[in-house]
């Protein structure tokens, strides 16, 4: 178990590091994933209409599209059936998926099964009121369809992973020691391969001029980077300036302009440098971030021996001290980025170097300073620069037009010492960017905290753009954050419904909120004075958390954050200190059918795909996010009513797609098409009938011994359920569920169709795995043995896992343990994660399967 009970002040450094990373990831999603606000608001609105049967508030001229907003689809009914806690009724009868046609169905009622086994029937017109007022109703709906999480597994997310070269696969999973972890980090964050051509003119020993050509720009950059600051300075001599000239980096060859002709861009406020280099740096930070995010998932899963977690945790908590004992580098929880993510604070330590991790923005500051330094020398550049700058100040480079000759003129007319002294620091950093050395396995402490925070903030901003959201001003961001705060408070209520208040692994719980507030001060507790000062500062974070008001940040604090970017390309829009752009949508309460009607003629009425007008232009210009030419913030502002509608329509179509189709794999293909007929099929029935089927099966043995289950055993729990009674009787104390989830019973029966199995653990009365175990909630089972497999790793265990995959037997977020036990089971880790399930470590003496909502083994 990763996180146990007791005082968190007594935690081991390894546990503290892993839990701190986990809190960082959760707070990132809760507070900074801007796409979740617009998507969730629109998803709820469409869900209301589908259940209440209100397709439109008025007349919709595009019937086919609007029709999708007013009926539950066949796939959604299938999800109801799989969940087993919710049923749609028509004329008093349960609607079955096989009876639902292409047009969908309008239910009269919903029937919800509460955690205590009681039923609640909701008339369709009353659904919205119950959804708002009843936390458990809302929790059950989100078990079936969670807007906050489906955005990570649809085709939009898959395309975004392709763009940033991401994968669901844990790239450090196979690392067994520190060296392998470091190699994995360096390979993952390696800079974008720079292609092009450079020409070098050098003189040999006899003074004869020699011309050489090469196309490996990245390799040349690495050579220069390896020479350090001195090498960078030397590289700006006349010969070296010509040597780095390149053709065709990206579409416009903008890197060439940066290296040899960067002086030209001083006249335009260095906008070209910021735009061009932004995507290159951003990709490196995002890659770095995903490594720590994967480690956080392992921490939340309760993994005990995931080696990369220990190594990443050590980097995260690392500090550096010089010979005099002075701290020269603080830990990640003390970094500018970590505090911004966690507390909306813009605070930097005396050892911080956080501006290094601002993609693109740092170049504007450097180049603007250069303009002042050059003074009169800038005059000779005016004529040359005029021909290579567009009216927008963005370089349009044509090699055939004589770029080499222009650079040659600059090099000839500027004295080499002048160039070297002013350009060397800038050029050196640029070369490091090209060589992919901004972040690597040596990035630790504060630097790691800032790099990973920058990465995740930009990743969320890019995700929002891909999902149809536009660019917000600071004032619009403040209003948008208020909507986000309301949604977060609702999710917190759902989370606390199913978790112990003493669970420290989540910022949503009583103890977890206190722990979150303590994190940045833990390293300050070494002296009484530091402890006192830390505690005084701590109150500003703890007490709002305890009162449940932390989500409502003050407007002036939000304004300060979203006005803190100094990249001149992003003036007039909301951008936080790392210069990720604020994105969202406006008029989120507008009727989806009215939106569709207003944009009629701009999309295919059968598919909803944009065909022209503002809608198509919006999706093409704003949906691409940051590219080789930067980000188009000017067009993507909400300066017209049609742009507001275009954003809403794009989001609405994504909502409908996720409601009506299964998740996609990393390649973006529909995972449903991968399901084969191998293995059995999920049996049907309620909990009572499923439990009786288990007792009647010749292949299934249910253990008559228990662990952390009071006076009950798996056998007594199944027998009680078969009698229509609670699995855990009222006489046995527990603060968790008394009923086993029917879907877990289906899983047992599915595996029992082809294998001899023993149910070794089912429900528990005590929480394990730091509050994340699903056993106390009746949503997990341990099987041992499965045929000849008793270690969770053998061939027959792997066959059982494959059958679960083929039958799509678990919901999104479900989990399967024993990921590191090796054997045939270990080979299925990628297949499991591609289904949107968790694959995690657990002891190698059983096979653990759960339905999610924590996914922790125990």
Model pTM score: 0.68
DSSP conformation class of 328: E
Q: How much of the chain exceeds pLDDT 70, in percent? A: 66
Please report whether residue 400 resides in a domain. Answer: yes
Contact yes or no for 783/822 (Cβ under 8 A): no
Of 529, 545, 572, at which residue does a domain stop? 572
For the chain, the residue count is 858
If asked whether residues 711 and 843 sit together in one domain, one would say yes
Residue with tokens 């081991």: 12
pLDDT tens per residue across span 686-725: 899 999 999 999 899 998 887 778 889 999 999 999 999 9
Confidence (pLDDT) at 362: 52
Per the structure, the complete domain to which residue 526 belongs is given by: 473-572
If asked whether residues 410 and 526 sit together in one domain, one would say no
Contact yes or no for 681/692 (Cβ under 8 A): no
Cα(826)–Cα(388) distance, integer angstroms: 55
Residue with tokens 């992919």: 436
Contact yes or no for 459/148 (Cβ under 8 A): no
pLDDT tens per residue across span 19-34: 788 888 888 888 899 9
Pairs from 290-295 (Cβ < 8 Å, separation ≥ 24): 290/166, 290/171, 290/188, 290/455, 291/171, 291/172, 291/184, 291/185, 291/188, 291/189, 292/21, 292/24, 292/25, 292/316, 292/448, 292/452, 293/25, 293/456, 294/170, 294/171, 294/172, 295/18, 295/21, 295/172
Q: How much of the chain exceeds pLDDT 90, in percent? A: 32
Confidence (pLDDT) at 9: 45
DSSP SS3 for 132: helix
Confidence (pLDDT) at 749: 95
Cα(487)–Cα(146) distance, integer angstroms: 12
- Whether residue 37 is predicted with pLDDT greater than 90 in this model: the reply is yes
Please list, in sequence order, all residues whose beta carbon lies within 8 angstroms of the beta carbon of residue 184, skipping any fewer than 6 positions away.
Answer: 171, 172, 175, 291, 308
Please report whether residue 459 resides in a domain. Answer: no
Model confidence band, residue 230 (pLDDT cutoffs 50, 70, 90): very low
Contact yes or no for 836/804 (Cβ under 8 A): no
Range from 485-489, 779-783, 788-792, 823-827 carrying the lowest mean pLDDT? 823-827
Model confidence band, residue 529 (pLDDT cutoffs 50, 70, 90): very low
Contact yes or no for 450/337 (Cβ under 8 A): yes
- Whether residue 244 is predicted with pLDDT greater than 50 in this model: the reply is no
Q: Exposed (0-12), middle (13-18) or buried (19+): which is 529, by Cβ within 10 Å?
A: exposed
pLDDT tens per residue across span 260-275: 333 443 333 344 445 5
Confidence (pLDDT) at 125: 94
Model confidence band, residue 505 (pLDDT cutoffs 50, 70, 90): low
Of 572, 596, 625, at which residue does a domain stop? 572
Cα(383)–Cα(724) distance, integer angstroms: 88
If asked whether residues 704 and 758 sit together in one domain, one would say yes
Of 568, 316, 566, 319, residue with least CA distance to 452: 316
pLDDT tens per residue across span 531-556: 344 444 444 444 444 434 444 446 78
Confidence (pLDDT) at 617: 94
- Whether residue 259 is predicted with pLDDT greater than 50 in this model: the reply is no
- Taking each helix axis as running N to C, give the angle between helix 474-498 and helix 13-32, from 0 to 180 degrees, rounded to the nearest 10: 130
If asked whether residues 407 and 526 sit together in one domain, one would say no
Please report whether residue 65 resides in a domain. Answer: no
Most confident of 491-500, 564-573, 738-747, 805-814: 738-747
If asked whether residues 500 and 395 sit together in one domain, one would say no
If asked whether residues 378 and 479 sit together in one domain, one would say no
Compute how many other C-beta atoms are within 10 angstroms of the C-beta atom of residue 457. 27
Confidence (pLDDT) at 507: 67
Contact yes or no for 88/105 (Cβ under 8 A): yes
Confidence (pLDDT) at 819: 85
Contact yes or no for 285/5 (Cβ under 8 A): no
Range from 126-140, 380-394, 518-532 carrying the lowest mean pLDDT? 380-394
- Whether residue 285 is predicted with pLDDT greater than 60 in this model: the reply is yes
For residue 637, the cross-strand partners are 471
Contact yes or no for 746/803 (Cβ under 8 A): no
If asked whether residues 562 and 704 sit together in one domain, one would say no
Contact yes or no for 260/217 (Cβ under 8 A): no
Contact yes or no for 681/675 (Cβ under 8 A): no
Model confidence band, residue 206 (pLDDT cutoffs 50, 70, 90): low
Confidence (pLDDT) at 276: 54
Of 286, 654, 643, residue with least CA distance to 476: 643
More confident residue, 632 or 545: 632
Model confidence band, residue 437 (pLDDT cutoffs 50, 70, 90): low
Is it true that the peptide bond before 785 is cis, omega within 30 degrees of 0?
yes
Please report whether residue 689 resides in a domain. Answer: yes
If asked whether residues 537 and 399 sit together in one domain, one would say no
pLDDT tens per residue across span 825-847: 888 888 888 788 888 888 888 99
Task: Record the tokens describing residue 788, joined without a space.
Answer: 């000849």
Range from 346-360, 369-383, 389-403, 626-640 carrying the lowest mean pLDDT? 389-403
Task: Record the tokens describing residue 529, joined without a space.
Answer: 């004075």
DSSP conformation class of 637: B
Confidence (pLDDT) at 480: 95
Confidence (pLDDT) at 519: 60
If asked whether residues 421 and 499 sit together in one domain, one would say no
Please list, in sequence order, all residues whose beta carbon lies within 8 angstroms of the beta carbon of residue 517, skipping any fewer than 6 positions away.
Answer: 538, 541, 542, 545
Please report whether residue 135 resides in a domain. Answer: no
Confidence (pLDDT) at 650: 97
Q: How many helices (H) and strands (E) does the chain have?
A: 34, 16
Confidence (pLDDT) at 850: 93
Residue with tokens 């289904």: 835
Of 542, 572, 602, at which residue does a domain stop? 572
Confidence (pLDDT) at 143: 84
More confident residue, 526 or 743: 743
Task: Give how far the C-alpha of residue 625 lies from the chain's centroid of Cα atoms, to the nearest Å.
Answer: 16
Cα(680)–Cα(73) distance, integer angstroms: 25
Please report whether residue 33 resides in a domain. Answer: no
Contact yes or no for 285/359 (Cβ under 8 A): yes
Q: Exposed (0-12), middle (13-18) or buried (19+): which is 312, by Cβ within 10 Å?
A: buried
Give me the number of domains the chain comprises. Answer: 3
If asked whether residues 405 and 487 sit together in one domain, one would say no
Range from 35-49, 200-214, 393-407, 418-432 carrying the lowest mean pLDDT? 393-407
Mean pLDDT of the chain: 74
Please report whether residue 425 resides in a domain. Answer: yes
Cα(624)–Cα(621) distance, integer angstroms: 6
More confident residue, 619 or 857: 619
If asked whether residues 734 and 832 sit together in one domain, one would say yes
Range from 466-480, 579-593, 634-648, 764-778 carrying the lowest mean pLDDT? 764-778
Of 226, 66, 29, residue with least CA distance to 594: 66
pLDDT tens per residue across span 113-128: 887 788 999 999 999 9
Element at 74 (helix H, strand E): helix 74-83
Please report whether residue 724 resides in a domain. Answer: yes
Confidence (pLDDT) at 10: 45
More confident residue, 682 or 243: 682
Confidence (pLDDT) at 535: 40
Read off the pLDDT of each residue in 47-62 and give the average, rounded to a whole number: 69
More confident residue, 318 or 528: 318
Of 520, 514, 501, residue with least CA distance to 545: 514
Cα(435)–Cα(221) distance, integer angstroms: 5
Read off the pLDDT of each residue in 130-137 and give the average, rounded to a whole number: 92
More confident residue, 808 or 510: 808
Cα(50)–Cα(365) distance, integer angstroms: 51
Model confidence band, residue 750 (pLDDT cutoffs 50, 70, 90): very high
Range from 56-70, 587-601, 620-634, 755-769 carrying the lowest mean pLDDT? 56-70
If asked whether residues 419 and 483 sit together in one domain, one would say no
Confidence (pLDDT) at 306: 62
Cα(763)–Cα(172) distance, integer angstroms: 33
Contact yes or no for 740/797 (Cβ under 8 A): no
Cα(785)–Cα(680) distance, integer angstroms: 19
Read off the pLDDT of each residue in 842-857 and give the average, rounded to a whole number: 75
For residue 471, the cross-strand partners are 583, 637
């Amino acid at each position: 178990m990763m996180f146990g009970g007791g005082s968190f002040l007594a935690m081991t450094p390894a546990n503290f590091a892993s839990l701190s990373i986990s809190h960082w990831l959760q707070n990132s999603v809760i507070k900074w994933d801007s796409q979740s606000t617009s998507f969730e608001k629109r998803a709820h609105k469409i869900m209301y209409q589908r259940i209440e049967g209100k397709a439109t508030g008025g007349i919709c001229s595009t019937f086919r599209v609007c029709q999708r907003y007013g009926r539950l689809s066949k796939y959604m009914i299938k999800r109801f059936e799989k969940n087993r806690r919710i049923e749609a009724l028509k004329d008093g009868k349960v609607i079955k998926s096989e009876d639902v046609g292409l047009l969908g169905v309008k239910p009269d009622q919903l029937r919800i099964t509460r955690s205590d086994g009681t039923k609640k029937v909701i008339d369709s017109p009353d659904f919205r009121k119950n959804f708002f007022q009843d936390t458990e109703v809302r929790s059950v709906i989100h078990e079936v369809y969670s807007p906050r999480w489906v955005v990570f597994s649809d085709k939009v997310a898959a395309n975004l992973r392709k763009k940033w070269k991401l994968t669901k696969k844990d790239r450090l999973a196979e690392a067994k020691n520190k060296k392998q972890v470091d190699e994995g980090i360096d390979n993952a964050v390696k800079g974008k391969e720079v292609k092009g051509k450079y020409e070098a003119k050098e003189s040999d020993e006899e003074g004869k001029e020699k011309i050489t050509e090469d196309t490996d720009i990245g390799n040349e950059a690495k050579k220069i980077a390896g020479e350090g600051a001195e090498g960078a300075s030397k590289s700006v001599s006349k010969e070296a300036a010509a040597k780095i000239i390149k053709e065709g980096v990206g579409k416009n060859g903008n890197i060439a302009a940066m290296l040899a002709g960067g002086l030209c861009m001083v006249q335009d406020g260095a906008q070209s440098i910021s735009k061009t280099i932004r995507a290159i740096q951003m990709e490196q930070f995002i890659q770095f971030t995903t490594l720590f995010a994967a480690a956080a998932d392992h921490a939340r899963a309760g993994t005990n021996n995931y080696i990369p977690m220990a190594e990443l945790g050590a980097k995260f908590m690392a500090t550096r001290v010089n010979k005099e004992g002075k701290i020269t580098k603080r830990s990640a929880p003390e970094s500018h980025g970590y505090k911004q993510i966690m507390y909306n604070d813009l605070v930097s330590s005396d050892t911080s170097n956080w501006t290094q991790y601002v993609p693109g923005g740092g170049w504007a500051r450097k180049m603007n300073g250069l303009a002042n330094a050059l003074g009169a020398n800038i005059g000779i550049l005016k004529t040359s620069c005029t021909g290579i700058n567009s009216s927008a100040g963005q370089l349009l480079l044509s090699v055939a037009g004589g770029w080499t000759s222009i650079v040659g003129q600059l090099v000839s007319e500027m004295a080499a010492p002048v160039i070297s002294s002013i350009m060397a620091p800038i050029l050196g950093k640029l070369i490091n960017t090209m060589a992919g050395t901004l972040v690597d396995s040596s990035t630790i402490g504060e630097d790691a905290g800032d790099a990973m925070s920058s990465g995740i903030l930009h990743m969320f901003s890019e995700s929002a753009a891909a999902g149809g959201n536009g660019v917000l001003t600071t004032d619009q961001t403040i209003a948008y954050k208020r909507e986000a705060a309301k949604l977060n408070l609702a999710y917190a209520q759902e989370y606390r419904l199913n978790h112990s208040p003493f669970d420290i692994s989540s910022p949503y719980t009583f103890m977890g909120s206190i722990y979150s507030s303590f994190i940045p001060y833990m390293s300050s507790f070494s002296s009484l004075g530091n402890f006192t000062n830390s505690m005084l500062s701590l109150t500003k974070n703890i007490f709002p958390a305890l009162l449940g008001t932390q989500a409502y940040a003050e407007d002036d604090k939000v304004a300060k954050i979203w006005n803190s970017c100094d990249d001149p390309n992003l003036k007039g829009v909301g951008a936080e200190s790392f210069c990720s752009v604020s994105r969202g949508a406006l008029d989120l309460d507008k009727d989806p059918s009215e939106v569709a009607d207003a944009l009629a003629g701009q999309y295919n009425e059968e598919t909803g795909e944009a065909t022209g007008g503002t809608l198509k232009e919006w999706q093409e210009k704003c949906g691409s996010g940051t590219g080789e030419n930067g980000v188009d913030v000017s067009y993507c502002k909400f300066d017209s009513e049609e742009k507001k509608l275009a954003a809403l329509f794009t989001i609405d179509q994504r909502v409908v797609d996720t409601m009506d189709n299964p998740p996609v794999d990393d390649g973006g293909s529909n995972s449903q098409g991968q399901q084969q007929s191998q293995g059995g099929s999920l049996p049907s029935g309620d909990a009572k009938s499923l439990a009786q089927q288990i007792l009647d099966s010749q292949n299934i043995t249910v253990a008559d011994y228990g662990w952390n289950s009071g006076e009950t055993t798996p056998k007594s729990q199944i027998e009680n359920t078969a009698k229509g009674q609670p699995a855990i009787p009222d006489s046995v104390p527990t603060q968790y569920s008394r009923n086993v989830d029917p879907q877990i019973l289906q899983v047992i029966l599915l595996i029992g169709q082809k294998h001899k199995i023993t149910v070794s653990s089912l429900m528990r009365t005590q929480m394990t795995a730091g509050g994340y175990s699903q056993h106390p909630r009746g949503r997990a089972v341990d099987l041992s043995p499965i045929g000849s497999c008793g270690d969770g790793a053998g061939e027959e265990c792997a066959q059982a896992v494959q059958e679960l995959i083929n039958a799509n037997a678990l919901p999104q977020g479900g989990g399967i343990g024993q990921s590191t036990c090796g054997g045939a089971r270990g080979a299925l880790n990628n297949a499991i994660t591609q289904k949107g399930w968790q694959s995690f470590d657990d002891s190698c003496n059983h096979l653990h399967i759960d339905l999610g909502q924590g996914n922790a083994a125990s």
